[in-house]
Structure 1
Amino acid sequence: MRVEDGFQPIPYLEQNPYTTDLVISSLLRRLVPEQTLASFEPDLVRFGDEVITTIRETGAPHRVTAPELVQYDQWGKRIDRLQTSQGWIDLKAAAQREGIPAIFYERKYNEYSRLYGFAKAFLMVGYSHVVFCPLSMTDGAARIIELLGTPGMREHLLPRLVSRDTSFAFVSGQWMTERSGGSDVSQTETIAQPMGDNHVLGPRYLLHGFKWFSSATDSDISMALARTGSLEEGSRGLSLFLIPLRRPLLRDPAKPTPSPTSNGIRVHRLKNKIGTHTLPTAELSLEETEGYLVGKLGQGVRSITPILNITRVWSALGSVGALRRCLSISTAFAEVRTIDGGKTLLKNVPLHVAQLAKISTTYRALAHLTFEVVRLLGKSECNTASQAEKARLRLLTPLVKAFCAELAVASMEEAMTTLGGAGYMEENDMGRLIRDSLVEKIWEGTTTVLSLDLIRASRDPSTLQAYFEWAEAVVASCPPQFKDLPQLQLLVSGLNHLSSTYENPIPTLMPRPALMLMGYTTSSLLLLEHTIWSSTTMQPERETDITVLCRWIEEGGLSSAIEDVKRVEKNSRNREIEDSAIVFGRAVNPKL
């Protein structure tokens, strides 16, 4: 039999990711004033069509391929020429033309500009081949320059970082990770030596060192930490620098592009990663590399924080956006795939639909958490956030990144199985999305690292106070018909346990379970907040919103998170000893 003969499966059809998604449009109706939403929603509808046509074709496998590094020319001269695929270049350009990150800094919609821009990126992220990695760092670099940059940086660089003109726009990287410390930047070995003069961009330094993990190696500039104090000072001896990847950076566009080695940057090798294959990530050394001080000496960690905060929100968006696409593929497949000899569509098989409903419930919870942080970020940047909202943003930024990364990939794997053997094929893009999303568990801090950041944030009593006052206000605002829901009582129990987990002294094993408990309680509160709005404004989906809320609280993992916290509270010390014996065969904890 020829392949053209016999049964022919009907291909599933992906549709506009804005108009067919059951979450994002409803979220925006609640979070954005009606007139404001009416002014930019048509652009989201238009872009949704663009995503499933032009953007998807731009990201076709034959157009987006892994980068190549040519270190030497035929005469043995070091050139370090990085070659990226045309599809990668075109996807970045498409996002820039659409206003990412321009929308955030044009601030046409004031505090809602972040919601608009991130909603637009959300539609594209599942098709983007992680071009939002460099663009997120560009976003962060723009924010740093806006806050801390010299007059020259704000004049010459900020307009290029936020430009929609791809012939003019710059992209920024971020170089923090070194072999000596990984996430612990206190061990940074790169040294910055002052030259005693000023460039138009700021005080000039020469940097010497080695960066073990440089994302966006094809960028125009990068933000990097380097040591201006002694090694004994740890992170207090670090300062932040803006580094051109080529010199001169501010050049006549008519002149030839400088050599990749023109600023003493040597690319030693591209990283051989499990995913994000199209993203050029490299190990590189800095040899008399010119850079310009950003912010104050010795405050590099504090100065680079805006990039970390912004990229962590982008990371959450990447996790949830990838899950959104996997779920949309699964749903579209259920619309056309038949079983029972072609008599029954999968969408009419209760057991199959139950699996999709479980994935959808997780997706909804993570989407609400992500866009709440986006909302708070927009308010903070436009100076309309209250002190309580700023405190919540401080807590929720590491939380959203870690919690979404932990839950999204597992649900993406579930979505893959709903296609059966077809789900395991590379053509549907699920495999790439899962591989690429795995990095979100590591990039910009693992869940364990971020759980410790939450502990640091909780040391300010006003931060937790702001969180719990908000939580109590949401619960108190429930209409009478919600008061007797058993799921609501479980949520209140989760909040009570969460409060005790951050009371000093905090057991050494508590940070990670505490983060997960905060993730479940916060996402539940946000679904509750949305359900209250949906019910009181008589939205057509209000009954579904109630169902999603109850299922998420009861079945999503809150009960397990509470039990994990109680287990640590009960016998943390014994568990440390047992863990060490399980892993190493003996107790090796240096504290023992």
Structure 2
Amino acid sequence: MAGTTHTVTNQAPPLVQYDVFGADRALVEAVGRHLDPDVLDEGLSELSALGRTAGSAQVQEWGVLANEHPPRLRTHDRYGHRIDEVDFHPSWHRLLGKGVSAGLTAAWGRPGGHVRRAAAFLVWTQVEAGNGCPLSMTHAAVPALRTDPALAAEWEPRLTSVVYDRELRPAGQKPGALFGMGMTEKQGGSDVRANTTAARPLAEDGAYELTGHKWFCSAPMSDAFLVLAQAPGGLTCFLVPRVLADGTRNVFLIQRLKDKLGNRSNASAEVEFAGTWARRVGEEGRGVRTIIGMVAATRLDCVLGSAGLMRQAVAQAVHHCTYREAFGGRLVDKPLMRNVLADLALESEAATTLALRLAAAYDDDGEQERALLRIAVPAAKYWVTKRCAPLAVEAAECLGGNGYVEESGMPRLVRESPLNSIWEGAGNVQALDVLRALRREPAALDAYLREVGQARGADHRLDAAIKDLLTELADLEGVEGRARRLVERLALVLQGALLVRYAPPEVADAFCAARLGGDGGAAFGTLPHTLDLASVVERARPVS
């Protein structure tokens, strides 16, 4: 029986039954800006449908259940046969199926495909980020496979299918297929050239036998994997099918699943290859060059995933503070809380605006845009993913003790928030990759400067930041020790330039003041009080 004092008051209603896409003004505007008019209406309609699905009570419950019931490894069946299968909760399959049917693996060759997919990925991440891993890798495998036209012709229609088929059977018998990848080994980590997995050529042209291990193999129930191994000609990329064409299981020994901080609905495994059949992708000895297209695409998905987590954290914080009252009024109206919320909203909008701009560059695919991506993707991956964790923690604090309780959903966001800064190369890897582009590819820096230069003269703080950046870029002696600072400035200046061009004046003004002009502190909630913070917060409120 309820106690006589147990009257529930002053609690925010659940943020549910809303359009996750339509309620995100920055995202809606970015899609409208980057999609061609002839596909805009169709794109907005698709995204609103997905947004309503993502915001529904049923789908949000699927996300909770997939997280609460993590995958389970079965190495053997009841009779002792080795099967190496991973069991998932039904909610995982429902989420993954919805993601596939929404086109999250089908961007390539579709008009406006990358912008539409990027917006959808950002929306779907907010339900449960774990299923984004196989969706991302399947999408990203396409450019690597295109280095071998025969392989691409065979596999690309399966990867870009909008049909999810969970059964383990030959990919040629399935209406759609998913890809994973295995590059990391325990002795090498990010240094993939230290990999020891060996590839022995077989009599069949392009076929090899792999022997070795992978320390991290993502989504081990996928239909095929891109892996790196040492062939006679050096480090080479291979396609490893989970089931062979004759229906027999390939040798794919799952030793254990990783017990991770977050991303618990998704399986990450240690696997062994022992006479495992593989097909070479690209030339021997050019494995890194072959797989680099996949790496770039998954790095952009790290930016999108972090932007999605940020947006959901901000939406929850603003929603709570809109309804919660304290000290005689709504929290959202308290000057200091408004400052915190506005600061969080700035970070979220800057991440979304940058991510969609990069997706648009993929759709354009011109020489200038490809050069911009070369420097902007690793810089964005470095900075946006780094900002995700502190934002998620601050947003949870806006809910007080409620934000520390699992039922609020905020702890799940907090646990997930560091992942994208580690996946596909941690911060130092990204920073060093930017330095490599600066030194070896002058067209990349030129494209970057042309992009930010389009906003020069619109804000004096942005102009000063560009000038200071040019001074730093003029001296690359001993730059490795200050690479993180340089890449941070590259990302911030690019975000500032995009917001000055595209965001409402109050958003651009606040961002330039706090992030470029030095008027903000290290913690969130230190914006100058003279700014129009109420408008910034209202823009971030999840009302569709």
TM-score > 0.5 by shorter chain: yes
- Residue of 446, 464, 468 corresponding to 2:426: 446
Query: How far apart are the structure 1 equivalents of 2:480 and 2:64?
Result: 47
Q: Tell me the alpha carbon deviations over residues 392-412 of structure 1, each in whole angstroms, 9 at most, x when there is no partner.
A: 110011111111111122111
Distance 1:528 1:557, change over 3 A: closer
Q: Tell me the alpha carbon deviations over residues 71-104 of structure 1, each in whole angstroms, 9 at most, x when there is no partner.
A: 23445443322212111111111111111212x1
The answer as to whether partners of 1:68 and 1:82 remain within 8 angstroms in 2 is yes
Distance 1:4 1:119, change over 3 A: farther
Say whether residues 1:87 and 2:91 are aligned partners: yes
CA RMSD of aligned residues (A): 2.2
Q: Secondary structure at the match of 2:64?
A: coil
**Alignment correspondent of 1:468:** 449
Deviates more, 1:156-165 or 1:285-294: 156-165
Query: How far apart are the structure 2 equivalents of 1:60 and 1:134?
Result: 19
| Identical positions, percent | 26
Relative contact order (C-alpha < 8 Å, sep 6+): which is higher?
Answer: 2
Post-superposition shift, 1:492? 3.2
- Superposition TM-score, scaled by structure 2 size: 0.88
Distance 1:247 1:185, change over 3 A: same
Post-superposition shift, 1:150? 4.3
Query: How far apart are the structure 2 equivalents of 1:466 and 1:2?
Result: 66
Say whether residues 1:362 and 2:347 are aligned partners: yes
Matching of residues 543-582 of structure 1 within 5 Å: 545-556=504-515, 559=518
Letter paired with 1:363: S
Distance 1:62 1:196, change over 3 A: closer
Distance 1:489 1:179, change over 3 A: same
- Residue of 216, 241, 244 corresponding to 2:241: 244
Distance 1:508 1:19, change over 3 A: closer
Distance 1:558 1:390, change over 3 A: farther
Post-superposition shift, 1:120? 1.5
**Alignment correspondent of 2:527:** none
The answer as to whether partners of 1:64 and 1:88 remain within 8 angstroms in 2 is no
Letter paired with 2:27: I
Distance 1:474 1:19, change over 3 A: same
Q: Secondary structure at the match of 2:280?
A: strand
Post-superposition shift, 1:159? 1.2
Query: How far apart are the structure 2 equivalents of 1:209 and 1:379?
Result: 40
Matching of residues 67-466 of structure 1 within 5 Å: 67-102=71-106, 104-107=107-110, 109=111, 112-145=112-145, 147-151=146-150, 153-167=151-165, 168-198=175-205, 203-229=206-232, 237-248=234-245, 258=248, 262-340=249-327, 343-380=328-365, 385=366, 387-459=367-439, 460-466=441-447
Distance 1:299 1:550, change over 3 A: same
Q: Secondary structure at the match of 1:313?
A: helix
Q: Secondary structure at the match of 2:204?
A: strand
Determine which structure has more spread, i.e. the larger CA radius of gyration.
1
**Alignment correspondent of 1:5:** 6
Query: How far apart are the structure 2 equivalents of 1:3 and 1:196?
Result: 80
Post-superposition shift, 1:495? 3.0
Unaligned 5+ runs, structure 2: 166-174, 523-544
Query: How far apart are the structure 1 equivalents of 2:31 and 2:224?
Result: 34
Q: Tell me the alpha carbon deviations over residues 205-227 of structure 1, each in whole angstroms, 9 at most, x when there is no partner.
A: 10000101111111110000010
Query: How far apart are the structure 2 equivalents of 1:138 and 1:161?
Result: 6
Letter paired with 1:2: G
**Alignment correspondent of 1:45:** 48
Query: How far apart are the structure 1 equivalents of 2:514 and 2:241?
Result: 50
**Alignment correspondent of 1:65:** 69
Query: How far apart are the structure 2 equivalents of 1:270 and 1:365?
Result: 35
Post-superposition shift, 1:133? 0.8
How many correspondences in the alignment?
A: 507
Say whether residues 1:496 and 2:470 are aligned partners: yes
Unaligned 5+ runs, structure 1: 231-236, 252-257, 532-544, 564-592
- Superposition TM-score, scaled by structure 1 size: 0.81
Post-superposition shift, 1:274? 1.1
Letter paired with 1:471: V
Query: How far apart are the structure 1 equivalents of 2:114 and 2:189?
Result: 30
**Alignment correspondent of 1:255:** none
Matching of residues 471-490 of structure 1 within 5 Å: 471-475=452-456, 478=457, 482=458, 485-490=459-464
The answer as to whether partners of 1:318 and 1:437 remain within 8 angstroms in 2 is no
The answer as to whether partners of 1:141 and 1:172 remain within 8 angstroms in 2 is yes
The answer as to whether partners of 1:373 and 1:400 remain within 8 angstroms in 2 is no
Query: How far apart are the structure 2 equivalents of 1:137 and 1:2?
Result: 52
The answer as to whether partners of 1:210 and 1:284 remain within 8 angstroms in 2 is yes
Query: How far apart are the structure 1 equivalents of 2:90 and 2:148?
Result: 32
The answer as to whether partners of 1:337 and 1:345 remain within 8 angstroms in 2 is yes
Distance 1:33 1:79, change over 3 A: closer
Deviates more, 1:51-60 or 1:189-198: 51-60
Query: How far apart are the structure 1 equivalents of 2:361 and 2:444?
Result: 14
Post-superposition shift, 1:283? 0.7
**Alignment correspondent of 1:581:** none
Query: How far apart are the structure 2 equivalents of 1:392 and 1:155?
Result: 29
Post-superposition shift, 1:2? 1.6
The answer as to whether partners of 2:302 and 2:421 remain within 8 angstroms in 1 is no
Say whether residues 1:34 and 2:37 are aligned partners: yes
Query: How far apart are the structure 2 equivalents of 1:362 and 1:245?
Result: 41
Letter paired with 2:20: P
- Residue of 502, 507, 511 corresponding to 1:530: 502
Query: How far apart are the structure 1 equivalents of 2:376 and 2:466?
Result: 19
Q: Tell me the alpha carbon deviations over residues 314-352 of structure 1, each in whole angstroms, 9 at most, x when there is no partner.
A: 011110100101111111112221223xx5222222221
Letter paired with 1:143: P
